[in-house]
Amino acid sequence: MKILIVEDEPKTGSYLKQGLGEANFNVDLADNGLDGLHMALTDTYDLVILDVMLPGINGWQVLQGIRRRGLEMPVLFLTARDEVADRVKGLELGADDYLVKPFAFSELLARVRSLLRRGGKTKESEFLKAADLELDLIRRRVSRSGRKIELTAKEFSLLELLLRRQGEVLPRSLIASQVWDMNFDSDTNVIEVAIRRLRAKIDDDFDHKLIHTIRGMGYRLEVAE
Ligand code: CA
């Protein structure tokens, strides 16, 4: 799940980015309204966290731009101003929730999860599954046969990609661009290493292997017959 944060205060922005990253979300950060709106319209996000007072165009205008384009992902407003008038304005413009600064991170995380659960336009399932492996997109948890598995944020993204495209052979170049946001460099073995670590966690202790290497092509997650 991908979240866009539009926040001009560097401290708050990096605090949010780090916290949500540690909760296994993919997070992009924009520090002004124009960049934020541009990113919201050109990339695909499951949720947007918007500060109200921003340089360039403000949070209200970013929200208007998003809704005008017909995008229905949930939007959570962060505002230092807790006046009733602001809340009414935001609701009219199509905000889904508010958080008044300063806030506790746990509170933000709870709101984020609740908004993602309610869902925006994409009513996708909260879970991705393959055999007895289950990935919980909202709580960012993974289990196999009911046993909880700890993954790093990258491992989680990698597994999410493999599960979303179950049965397909995914070339290393595609994995590199989707999970690492980088162009494939044949000298790097970062993907092999990550696949090995992921296998150690989700496959090694189980008879039924899910991640398959397709020599010279890439990797495929598949539930064998
Ligand atoms: Ca601000």
**DSSP character string of 115-142:** HHHH-SS----SEEEETTEEEETTTTEE
Cα of 62 vs centre of ligand 1, distance in Å, is 13
All domains in the chain, ordered by first residue: 2-118 (3.40.50.2300), 124-221 (1.10.10.10)
- Give the count of beta carbons closer than 10 Å to the beta carbon of residue 197: 15
> How far is 114 from 109, CA to CA, in rounded Å?
9
Cβ-Cβ contacts under 8 Å for 192 (sequence gap 6 or more):
none
**DSSP character string of 33-84:** HHHHHHHHHHS--SEEEEESS-SSS-HHHHHHHHHHTT----EEEEES---H
For 91-131, write each residue's pLDDT tens digit. Answer: 777 788 888 888 889 999 999 998 988 765 444 567 899 99
> How far is 193 from 136, CA to CA, in rounded Å?
24
Cα of 8 vs centre of ligand 1, distance in Å, is 5
> How far is 90 from 136, CA to CA, in rounded Å?
31
Cα of 101 vs centre of ligand 1, distance in Å, is 10
For 141-199, write each residue's pLDDT tens digit. Answer: 999 999 999 999 899 999 999 998 899 999 888 888 888 877 666 557 888 999 999 99
What pTM was computed for the model? 0.61
